Amino acid sequence: MGRLSEFQEHLAQSAKQVSDTISRLIPEADGLEARLGDAMRYATLNGGKRLRPYLVRTSAQLFDVPDDRALRVAAALEMVHSYSLVHDDLPAMDDDDLRRGKPTCHIEFDEATAILAGDALLTYAFEILGHPDTHPSGEVRANLVMALASASGARGMVGGQMLDLMAEDQTLGMEQITRLQRLKTGMLIAVSCEAGAILGKAPKAAHHALSAYAHDLGLAFQIADDLLDVEGDAEVVGKKIGKDADAGKETFVSLLGVERARDQARMLVDQAIEHLAPFEARADNLRDLARFVIDRSS
Amino acid sequence: MGRLSEFQEHLAQSAKQVSDTISRLIPEADGLEARLGDAMRYATLNGGKRLRPYLVRTSAQLFDVPDDRALRVAAALEMVHSYSLVHDDLPAMDDDDLRRGKPTCHIEFDEATAILAGDALLTYAFEILGHPDTHPSGEVRANLVMALASASGARGMVGGQMLDLMAEDQTLGMEQITRLQRLKTGMLIAVSCEAGAILGKAPKAAHHALSAYAHDLGLAFQIADDLLDVEGDAEVVGKKIGKDADAGKETFVSLLGVERARDQARMLVDQAIEHLAPFEARADNLRDLARFVIDRSS
């Protein structure tokens, strides 16, 4: 078994544990409002790769954080990622019917339920981080809350989504695309690594190394996503292909061309891996993840 | 000047301070995504009465909490209230064009911007609570986060909104309406008082007394709202009147009739005030607020 397929096995195993945790955390509601819990579960228990949770757990391991704590934070991060997809797929936003090969939340349920399920997932993520089960220190919990909120709010992910909407009528250059993607996807990826460091009360230098790794990884991830949108197989990718071009959106690939975009992604992965040097062999899982990010087919 | 109009003056003064705080906290964004910050400001700086912020500050005063801390928490609570209105007004939800006499957020901007502005306000509320400026103790900050998330998520406000949507095709009895309103509006009102107690590290008994006060107050507030929907003047109330009846929704008034509903609200206010006995004269502002809630015209 090659190193990549070995890693994929490892990632799939982690994804399963994360799904089990999410399933335990989201209440199987009853009563008239049970539909809300159903939609929350539908939006999160959908066979995603769980890259962000993997980053949380693997970063946390560098500092010997007990895995049950890391799993709670991983689940919270994944809930925020999932809520952003649910809202992003809405008719007023990207208007997508398909996500990971299945009907999007507002298609499976309805728009109102999808809006509320997204709101509830976002809210619940903070409830999980604030809870003593996540870490005995209130300081650590409050720091996790602040880091996640700052990465996913107006100056982070939501700001990036706004920028993305505004960019539809604009011609963006490399610098603007890079900023857009850093906000829209990069910061949530970065905070996944930072969360591990916060949980582990890591020294500043380790914190910074992980953060630098994550920022390069995030950008490489986005370029790989753009490449999949151009070259991927819709059935494997699990969503519509070519939609960036159809929407007239500039991407790294439309700006750089396929070859240079692929080179750029490789360079970023090398750079990401270099940042991990201080952790020596302990960070091998993070190195494998970085390589996987540009070699994946979905 | 009568006691009620004196109180209204006091409330208006507090509302202004809360607006100033919100205005300071929400960044006047620039860049292509500035529209997001504009929508966040539009949704929050709209001349609301700021009842929830008033509850936070007045409860916090009982425990000698510095007002700058209470104001941050008050602003966070109001952001959550505002986000819920923005999402609630969306076409897929209540489809309202008018709020406090002005175009709703998605009318003034557009649906996508309104969805994102709501998301950003909710996220920002938790960032504010998690920040050391809110309280030097991480434990207190994490407790504030947990309390707010739990009151406003799937088992609180968002759950109530889901219940409200599902109830449109149902005939609800008193017990179900009471539960719906407790979730939809009561819990955010209750957590406003609880936040003051958390900030002030109040003893358990004081915490419970305030919580009991807030739950009665929340229900009285909702009945008063239902009465205004039947009897109010659209121009004074600042939103469409009679919309519950138009939507075929059961309310306290449709179930009890105007007279018994008004009696019920008065009884709840008396009961709310009784819970404040342990605080003696220090809680007079909270007593006045309870009386105001059923005597207001908007």
Name the residue among A266, A230, A275 with its Cα closest to residue A250: A230
Mean pLDDT of chain A: 92
Name the residue among A116, A124, A85, A122 with its Cα closest to residue A103: A85
- With 0-12 CB in 10 A as exposed, 13-18 as middle and 19+ as buried, what is B13? exposed
**Could you read off the pLDDT of B115-170 as tens digits, one per residue?**
999 999 999 999 999 999 999 999 999 999 999 999 999 999 999 999 999 988 77
A131 Cβ contact list (under 8 Å, min separation 6) = A72, A141, B146
Mean pLDDT of chain B: 92
**Contact residues, chain B, for A33 at CB < 8 Å:** 154, 159-160, 162-163, 166, 183
**Which residues on adjacent β-strands are paired with residue B98?**
B103
Output the six-digit token pair for B228: 């205004």
pLDDT score recorded for residue A241: 61
Output the six-digit token pair for A133: 């089960």
pLDDT score recorded for residue A206: 95
Exposure on the CB side of residue B148, measured as CA atoms within 13 A: 38
**Could you read off the pLDDT of A70-110 as tens digits, one per residue?**
999 999 999 999 999 999 999 999 999 998 889 999 999 99
User: Hey, are the CB atoms on B118 and A119 less than 8 Å from each other?
Assistant: yes
Please tell me the distance from the alpha carbon of residue B18 to that of residue B78, in angstroms, as a whole number: 9
Where do we find the tokens 């500050």? B57
- Asked if residues B63 and B196 have their Cβ atoms less than 8 Å apart, the reply is yes
Q: Residue A203 pLDDT > 60, yes or no?
A: yes
pLDDT score recorded for residue B52: 97
Q: What average pLDDT score do residues A207-234 get?
A: 89
HEC profile for chain A?
CCHHHHHHHHHHHHHHHHHHHHHHHCCCCCCCCHHHHHHHHHHHCCCCCCHHHHHHHHHHHCCCCCHHHHHHHHHHHHHHHHHHHHHHCCCCCCCCCEECCEECHHHHCCHHHHHHHHHHHHHHHHHHHHCCCCCCCHHHHHHHHHHHHHHHCCCCHHHHHHHHHHHHHCCCCHHHHHHHHHHHHHHHHHHHHHHHHHHCCCCHHHHHHHHHHHHHHHHHHHHHHHHHHHHCCHHHHCCCCCHHHHCCCCCHHHHHCHHHHHHHHHHHHHHHHHHCHHHHHHHHHHHHHHHHHHHCCC
DSSP state of B135: -
B188 Cβ contact list (under 8 Å, min separation 6) = B52, B77, B80, B81, B84, B151, B152, B156, B157
Please tell me the distance from the alpha carbon of residue A112 to that of residue A90, in angstroms, as a whole number: 10
Please tell me the distance from the alpha carbon of residue B52 to that of residue B29, in angstroms, as a whole number: 26
pTM comes to 0.95
pLDDT tier for residue A9 given thresholds of 50, 70 and 90:
very high
User: Hey, are the CB atoms on A137 and B137 less than 8 Å from each other?
Assistant: no
pLDDT tier for residue B1 given thresholds of 50, 70 and 90:
low
Top pLDDT among A294 and A237 is at A294
pLDDT score recorded for residue B67: 96
pLDDT score recorded for residue B242: 66
Please tell me the distance from the alpha carbon of residue B146 to that of residue A126, in angstroms, as a whole number: 7
- Measured in angstroms, the CA of A5 and the nearest CA of chain B are apart by 37
Chains A–B, number of C-beta pairs less than 8 Å apart:
177
Nearest beta carbon to residue A153 from set B110, B120, B161? B120
pLDDT score recorded for residue B85: 97
Q: Residue B233 pLDDT > 70, yes or no?
A: no
Q: Does residue B98 sit in helix, strand or coil? A: strand
Name the residue among B152, B130, B184 with its Cα closest to residue A119: B152
pLDDT score recorded for residue B239: 59
Output the six-digit token pair for B71: 């104001």
CA distances from A117 to A8, A177, B209, B215 (A): 30, 30, 33, 25
B121 Cβ contact list (under 8 Å, min separation 6) = B40, B43, B44, B79, B80, B82, B83, B86
pLDDT score recorded for residue B32: 79
**Could you read off the pLDDT of B184-200 as tens digits, one per residue?**
999 999 999 999 999 99
**Contact residues, chain A, for B137 at CB < 8 Å:** 138
Q: What average pLDDT score do residues B164-180 get?
A: 88
pLDDT score recorded for residue B118: 98
pLDDT tier for residue A245 given thresholds of 50, 70 and 90:
low
Q: A178-192, B233-247, B262-276: which has the minimum mean pLDDT?
A: B233-247
pLDDT score recorded for residue B184: 94
Q: Residue B207 pLDDT > 70, yes or no?
A: yes
CA distances from B202 to B80, B149, B290 (A): 24, 20, 21
At residue A252, what is the residue type? F
Nearest CA in chain B to A171: B32
Q: What are phi and psi of B98, to 5 degrees?
A: -130, 135
pLDDT score recorded for residue B289: 95
Q: Residue B235 pLDDT > 60, yes or no?
A: no
Q: A41-45, B8-12, B81-85, B275-279: which has the minimum mean pLDDT?
A: B8-12
CA distances from A137 to A130, A172, B138, B142, B216 (A): 10, 44, 8, 9, 34
**Could you read off the pLDDT of A246-277 as tens digits, one per residue?**
667 788 898 899 999 999 999 999 999 999 99
pLDDT tier for residue A48 given thresholds of 50, 70 and 90:
confident
**Contact residues, chain A, for B153 at CB < 8 Å:** 120, 123-124, 127
pLDDT score recorded for residue A296: 75
Name the residue among A223, A207, A200, A204 with its Cα closest to residue A290: A223
- Asked if residues B78 and B18 have their Cβ atoms less than 8 Å apart, the reply is yes
DSSP state of B62: T
B126 Cβ contact list (under 8 Å, min separation 6) = A126, A145, A148, A149, B76, B145, B148, B149
Which CATH superfamily does the domain covering B3-295 fall into? Farnesyl Diphosphate Synthase (1.10.600.10)
pLDDT score recorded for residue A239: 59
- Measured in angstroms, the CA of B121 and the nearest CA of chain A are apart by 8
- Measured in angstroms, the CA of B281 and the nearest CA of chain A are apart by 34
- Measured in angstroms, the CA of B125 and the nearest CA of chain A are apart by 9
